[in-house]
Amino acid sequence: MSGTAQIGVTGLAVMGRNLARNFARNGYTVALHNRTAARTRELVEHFGDEGDFVATGSAEDFVAALERPRRLVIMVKAGEATDAVIGEFAPLLENGDVIIDGGNAHFEDTRRRERELRERGIHFVGTGISGGEEGALDGPSIMPGGSEESYASLGPMLEKISAKAKDGAPCVTHVGPDGAGHFVKMTHNGIEYADMQLIGEAYQLLRDVAGYSPARIADIFRTWNTGRLESYLIEITAEVLSHVDGATGKPFVDVVLDRAEQKGTGRWTVQIALDLGVPVSGIAEAVFARSVSGHADLRDASRHLAGPAARTLGEDEAAAFADRVEQALYASKIVAYTQGFHEIAAGSEQYGWNIDLGAVASIWRGGCIIRAAFLDRITGAYEARPRMVGLLADRGFAEEIAAAQDDWRTVVATAVTQGVPTPAFAAALAYYDSLRAERLPAALTQGQRDYFGAHTYRRTDRDGTFHTLWGGDRTEVES
């Protein structure tokens, strides 16, 4: 027997609930399921008038409520909970049915689940969903992986519920097979970490070097948000900085414990980048910065470690410095995205996903946490050169960085001189300088490796692999 619901959602915590409501608001009949029935009841009680819901109690009822081929979305905690839910539902499904995992799963888990379920005739679509609670309800950016066939049945629905970019394009694309969607979502989050850290460093510099109050910095971010840095993260930064704590009357940012937490997607981005050999130093510094912030034990050192004498700028100097920080932020942001896109290109190559980088940039233009005006430009750059690995290969971005570099260097130098930690700004600049350098000390590294381990080296002037007899007469032998 086939049910009437076009889609089902199991796991009705806030993300699942909002996604279910989004489907219903867009005219789909949505079957609902949750381990504790109270959540299902609450959803229908509070939002039942938003569309057609079919509340179900047991897994069997849930599956029976779905039309065929069945499409059921799992919105539970990534990891064991996801496997448990799949284990519960898969035996009730039939050939051609589709399970969609909308959590932040590790792409290797998604690859495994997709393989196992494929063997049983079930499509498994690991899907990145970005935009937080609000996005889930009003339109997220959606990054589905899985088979072409599953996208044919699912794509039109996802297009309907997704965010739309300013030009009206839906913020969803079939990213690629098996784990491609979750890989791209992971990298999105890595870039998100970098973006947030860079914004944090800009804030810290404006606070400690320019001597501005959080409210004044909020105004600066608002101004920046009308220019090339326009983005969701800049917008909410201004909101957070201008918020005053109700209990103390102090700036909210001054009463929040300065230890950043993480659920792990940024860390995965760096772990995988290490495996793929992709330099994501800006993203890595953002992950490490969260980790440093959390080490209260290490940070006890603040009591006895010396720094330079504090020097706050005068009013005119401060205003000029703020402009420089904008340049540094923009240039560093280009580097962070360059590194993220490089990782996607490398993952795509490694796993044979054939990911269209321009399409990824395009679906990040709306709905997701890193949505930004800047992504229009990235989309255009990849449309013009689909095989381009890093954004710095694009003439437009290269010119912008060239124009920003003097201020970028001044900002990093000032941070160093004044003892303000800016690991992501500095790493981004070092990455840029590494790409520009005609010669890197890697030649010396090769020499050292050959000296202590006979690891061999190649030469600039002829082909072949060589070793110098360091312990003997230092002649060179070809190996």
The residues carrying an active-site annotation are: 185, 192
Name the binding residues for substrate.
104, 130-132, 188-189, 193, 263, 290, 449, 455
Q: Longest C-alpha distance within the chain, in Å?
A: 87
The answer to the question of residue 369 lying near ligand 6PG (CB under 6 A) is: yes
Pick 293 or 468: Cβ nearer ligand 6PG: 293
Pairing verdict, β 123-130 and 53-55? unpaired
Measured CA distances, 121 to 68, 90, 149, 250, 358 (Å): 14, 10, 12, 58, 32
Binding mask 23-52 for ligand 6PG (x = CB under 6 A): ------------------------------
Which residues fall within 8 angstroms of residue 209, CB to CB, at 6 or more apart?
312, 313, 318, 321, 414, 415, 418, 420
With CB under 6 A as the contact rule, the residue among 79, 132, 211, 279 that binds ligand 6PG is: 132
Q: At what angle do helices 80-89 and 107-119 cross, to 10 degrees?
A: 10
Name the binding residues.
11-16, 34-36, 76-78, 104, 130-132, 188-189, 193, 263, 290, 449, 455
CA–chain centroid gap for 53, Å, is 32
- The half-sphere exposure of 401 on its side-chain side, counting CA atoms within 13 A, is 22
Termini Cα distance of the chain: 71
What are the two backbone dihedrals, phi and then psi, of residue 17, each rounded to the nearest 5 degrees? -60, -45
Pick 51 or 132: Cβ nearer ligand 6PG: 132
Smallest distance, ligand 6PG to C-beta of residue 104, A? 5
Q: How many residues bind ligand 6PG (CB under 6 A)?
A: 12
The answer to the question of residue 104 lying near ligand 6PG (CB under 6 A) is: yes
Smallest distance, ligand 6PG to C-beta of residue 370, A? 8
CB neighbours of residue 246 within 10 Å = 7
Smallest distance, ligand 6PG to C-beta of residue 140, A? 7
Smallest distance, ligand 6PG to C-beta of residue 353, A? 20
Let me know the angle formed at the C-alpha of 408 by 403 and 410, rounded to the nearest 5 degrees: 120
Pick 236 or 389: Cβ nearer ligand 6PG: 236
Measured CA distances, 181 to 15, 53, 109, 157, 158 (Å): 18, 28, 12, 17, 13
Footprint of ligand 6PG on 151-190 (CB under 6 A): 189
Q: Environment class of residue 221 by beta-carbon count within 10 Å: exposed (0-12), middle (13-18) or buried (19+)?
A: buried
Pick 130 or 414: Cβ nearer ligand 6PG: 130
Please tell me the distance from the alpha carbon of residue 427 to that of residue 408, in angstroms, as a whole number: 12
Binding mask 186-225 for ligand 6PG (x = CB under 6 A): ---x--x---------------------------------
Considering only the stretches 129-137, 334-342, 394-402, 436-444, report the one whose residues sit in contact with ligand 6PG under the rule CB under 6 A: 129-137
Considering only the stretches 69-77, 127-135, 199-207, 452-460, report the one whose residues sit in contact with ligand 6PG under the rule CB under 6 A: 127-135
Smallest distance, ligand 6PG to C-beta of residue 263, A? 4
Contact 321, 420 (CB under 8 A): no
Pick 66 or 142: Cβ nearer ligand 6PG: 142
Binding mask 249-288 for ligand 6PG (x = CB under 6 A): -------------xx-xx----------------------
The residue of the chain with the least Cβ separation from ligand 6PG equals 130
Q: Which residues bind ligand 6PG (CB under 6 A)?
A: 104, 130-132, 189, 192, 262-263, 265-266, 368-369
